[in-house]
Structure 1
Amino acid sequence: MSGHKLMFSGLKLCPSGKNRWTNRLLSGVSGRGKASFSSCSRPKVCIVGSGPAGFYTAQALIKARQDVQVDIYEQLPVPFGLVRFGVAPDHPEVKNVINTFTQTAKQSRCSFYGNVTVGKDVSIEDLQQAYHAVVLSYGAEGNRSMGVPGEDLAGVYSAKDFVGWYNGLPSCQELSPDLSCETAVILGQGNVALDVARILLSPIDLLKKTDITQPALEALSESLVRRVLIVGRRGPKQVACTIKEVREMVNLPDTRPEMVEADFEGVTEALKDLPRPRKRLTELMLKTALEIPGEKERERRNAASRVWGFRFFRSPVEVLAHPDHKRTAGIRLAVNRLEGEGEGSRAVLTGEVEDVTCGLVISSIGYRSLPIDPAVPFDAGKAIVPNHMGRVQQAAGLYCSGWVKTGPTGVIATTMNNSFDTARSLMEDMDSGKLDISAAKPGSQSISALLEKRGVKAVIFSDWERMDRLEMRRGEAAGKPREKLLTVEEMLQAARN
């Protein structure tokens, strides 16, 4: 690891101007060419987290300003965050964004330092002393609790951990989920819930061609799960997933849908008032639930050995224990009715409950950001770093992007726009003088020295490329796109070899 030693004394701030930001971003300056910046400071920015938010923020800063140096710090030895550990194995096209992130990481003015835990190996204060600006983009690695009795029983998992297990997140490799039951209940109806349902029910021959981990593949090949219910507290018109994910469930080989007709009462009449994307999604669900299928589809459904279905107007009340009191045997659901219309409608309890027998409960009710350092303000209620347009409140020089800024919402494109907005705020502050970039800052040079003193060996991007090549070779041998390294120890060993 090396840092550039630059002198800044007596240099003037660059002139401000909002149009200048737009021109910079649209011009797509690569940052590879040499340019003279004798009249401007050379600002150093560090980004904490190497997921989509971190890389999109870095990309925007580098394109917008030819003199900025961006260093990305990551807790794991490998980059890309939820693109690597969150995107479903059977969605390889979504992972293509890694190519763009790699281009950013290989820019001469961008450096990656993995295996560095900010808040432990280095503090935010250390980073603030070394850099002109610090951007927090470390995402949401906590789980939202259901807050119901029995959620600690064996057989109950968070979707975040379950997804991490089959995607190779080191902290989830001990999960070893029990798949010996017939019915699984997933709480939540977002895209992650449908990803989990699809992975549980997908034919093994399909999964074998993906980058799903070998232990997960072996466990799923022996799974007895044949029925998956995807439960939501509101109705079909409020479902949180997108049409692509529902279509994938409808077309999943060897499965058939199982819906409750009463859940769709009055939905057909409401179609005309729905916005187009919501209307198309609702029409697909209506067709799947209520239409009599054609002969070919009827044959396909009759031959299916696995079943999936949405269950609407239901909220978890209690996870029911097996007589041995050690594992789950079912879930008690409250029956709801809706108050209000459309997206703003609220689920209200009716007083009725129903019990569903199941041996597996997966809670997909959202990720949650965690505080990173006592020096950083944190809103525990909203589970975000309080900010205005990415500027952390009452903390000059501190910014945030991604889910730690907004909460866990949207898709990768949402995070991209959110990150570009934060980069814009940071650039405006540099240009206006609100962020002082006139004094020299040592950047990675001083952080490298601190890490060395503390016995922490950082992983740089060329180390990751070594790991990447190894994973690809291992995958090729198994007939897969890649076979992931599953522990931090394995990753570090591959990085050093």
Structure 2
Amino acid sequence: MRHIAIIGSGPAGYYTAEACQKEFGEAVQIDIIDRLPVPFGLIRSGVAPDHQSIKAVSRRYEAVALTDNVRFVGKLGIGQDVSIPELLALYDAVVLATGAPSDKPLGVPGDDLPGVIGSAAFVGWYNGHPDFAELAPAIDGADVVIIGNGNVALDCARILAKSAAEFEGSDIVGHAHAALTGAQPRSISILGRRGPQQIAMTPKELGELGHLERASVHVDPADLPPPESDAVLEPGQRKSVALLREFARTEEAKALPVRFTFFVQSVRVEGNGHAERLIVERTQLGANGEAVGTGEIRAIPADMIISCIGYRTSPIPDVPYDEQRGRFANVDGRIQPGLYCVGWARRGPTGTIGTNKPDGFLIAEEIARDQPQAAGKQGRAGLDALIAARGLAIVTFREWQKIDLAEIERARAGSPREKFVRVEDMVTASRG
């Protein structure tokens, strides 16, 4: 029997488990380990709560989790409860599928002032991640600046702008629902270092912003390049730019303005003990399409700044780390003999949820090439012995199903569930 441990129960973890099942058939046992008592990672705590159709992919992961040779081991911290060297001694292969859960710092003076929040923290707050449940951002009457031109920036803006009725059917957690529906920003600005044709926003998500009850979207026509230049863009990008052109022609003036501001880069955050304004420099496109500063400086009111400029994989003791790229040091997913990484932990935060599927199959094939025969290690039995010796209380997938049922039962009207946001409450529910 071949024994494989996968660290992380998000999309990359489950796609890798599925790939290993297909690669090795019944001659494999797979343990999917997560530090939280609940599975599904980014699907649970990263996908926007009003995008329930995307979250439905968790049913596929559940089917994998319920097969005989896959086990979920929740509430087990790697590097705290069990070390990587210990796992390598027990398993034929250890695959790190921990994603990139940490915010890349804004990297300008004043970015540590209260009121400056990373998107991982803000998204984690409204999605009920235990690490960020206590965030409590000050929203009411705030001039909010969102830095970044990707879909995460759109998610943050949309969630901030929604009315109470527009949260119907979402699984946004209670504390965020109460804060967002009981308050409204004064304004929302979405900043990009480059221009409309360089955004990383998809048309579906961008279009949603234009259909909100209390928000009107504004684009400065002067930031838009000549329409004929759109012809060289990819179809999806062309649709997104067309939406920006439509916003520029619209003269709606609802209660909450959402403004796109292109060609600006952050210089510093200023404020007396709290963020009050963001100083930015005007940019222009360089010869290779990069943002080049022009020296023109101005201030943008900013009581709350959400930085959506990228994520980093969290380091794990005894695992080589690439500080510059913010991920594990690896060559095509190989870190060292028996140790691999997959998904964002391998390549950085790029691609969609589905991108992790071929990534998982790549790693399964590499494991098969590197280790044609199982090494006769203890695997699951050895891990269980370690857990018992250290008095650790793990959460199984069957116990997660009890948490799942409890969250569904405690949902407010119009919501599919009310998530537990404290690990202790999750564990209590898992015990029935």
Query: TM-score, length-normalised on structure 1?
Result: 0.84
User: 2:415 matched to which residue of 1?
Assistant: 480
Matched, 1:362 2:321: no
Is contact 1:201-1:226 (8 Å) kept?
no
Matched, 1:384 2:327: yes
Is contact 1:124-1:373 (8 Å) kept?
yes
Q: Distance in 2 between matches of 1:493 and 1:361?
A: 36
Q: Which amino acid aligns with 2:14?
A: F
User: 1:316 matched to which residue of 2?
Assistant: 266
In structure 2, stretches of 5+ residues that fail to align are none
In structure 1, stretches of 5+ residues that fail to align are 1-41
Matched, 1:349 2:293: yes
User: 1:490 matched to which residue of 2?
Assistant: 425
State the Cα deviation string for residues 133-169 of structure 1 (Å, max 9, x = none).
1101011122111111111112111111000000000
State the 1:420 CA deviation. Answer: 2.2
Q: Distance in 2 between matches of 1:208 and 1:225?
A: 20
Q: Distance in 2 between matches of 1:138 and 1:125?
A: 17
Q: Distance in 1 between matches of 2:16 and 2:358?
A: 9
Q: Distance in 1 between matches of 2:400 and 2:135?
A: 25
Is contact 2:100-2:313 (8 Å) kept?
yes
SS in 1 for 2:78: coil
Identify the range of structure 1 (102-111 vs 354-363) with the bigger mean alpha-carbon deviation.
354-363
Q: Which amino acid aligns with 1:338?
A: L
Is contact 1:185-1:231 (8 Å) kept?
yes
State the Cα deviation string for residues 468-493 of structure 1 (Å, max 9, x = none).
00001111x53310000110000011
Is contact 1:208-1:217 (8 Å) kept?
no
SS in 1 for 2:285: strand
Matched, 1:428 2:369: yes
1:161 to 107, 114, 121: 121
Is contact 2:312-2:326 (8 Å) kept?
yes
Q: Distance in 1 between matches of 2:222 and 2:198?
A: 16
Q: Which amino acid aligns with 2:245?
A: L
SS in 1 for 2:280: strand
Matched, 1:461 2:397: yes
1:418 to 359, 363, 380: 359
Q: Distance in 2 between matches of 1:174 and 1:456?
A: 26
1:330 to 277, 282, 295: 277
State the 1:254 CA deviation. Answer: 2.5
Query: TM-score, length-normalised on structure 2?
Result: 0.97
1:188 to 148, 162, 174: 148
What is the aligned length? 431
User: 1:14 matched to which residue of 2?
Assistant: none
State the Cα deviation string for residues 171-205 of structure 1 (Å, max 9, x = none).
10110101133421000111111000000001111
Matched, 1:306 2:256: yes
Is contact 2:3-2:380 (8 Å) kept?
no
1:197 to 157, 163, 167: 157
SS in 1 for 2:337: coil
User: 1:52 matched to which residue of 2?
Assistant: 11
User: 2:58 matched to which residue of 1?
Assistant: 98
Is contact 1:181-1:358 (8 Å) kept?
no
Q: Distance in 1 between matches of 2:154 and 2:226?
A: 22
Alignment of 1:28-39 (within 5 A): none
SS in 2 for 1:50: coil
Q: Distance in 1 between matches of 2:207 and 2:213?
A: 12
1:227 to 173, 176, 187: 187
State the 1:367 CA deviation. Answer: 1.0
Q: Distance in 2 between matches of 1:370 and 1:345?
A: 31
Matched, 1:144 2:104: yes
Q: Distance in 2 between matches of 1:199 and 1:267?
A: 32
Identify the range of structure 1 (362-371 vs 273-282) with the bigger mean alpha-carbon deviation.
273-282
Q: Distance in 2 between matches of 1:275 and 1:77?
A: 41
SS in 1 for 2:56: helix
Q: Distance in 1 between matches of 2:280 and 2:69?
A: 54
Instruction: Tell me: CA distance 1:267–1:458, structure 2 relative to 1, closer, same or farther (3 Å).
Output: farther
Give the percent of matched residue pairs that are identical in Structure 1 and Structure 2: 39
State the Cα deviation string for residues 229-258 of structure 1 (Å, max 9, x = none).
110101111101111111011122222111
Q: Which amino acid aligns with 1:450?
A: L
Q: Distance in 2 between matches of 1:209 and 1:330?
A: 35
SS in 2 for 1:55: helix
Q: Which amino acid aligns with 1:331?
A: L
SS in 2 for 1:258: strand
State the 1:457 CA deviation. Answer: 0.7
Q: Distance in 2 between matches of 1:421 and 1:345?
A: 32
Greater Cα radius of gyration, structure 1 or 2? 1
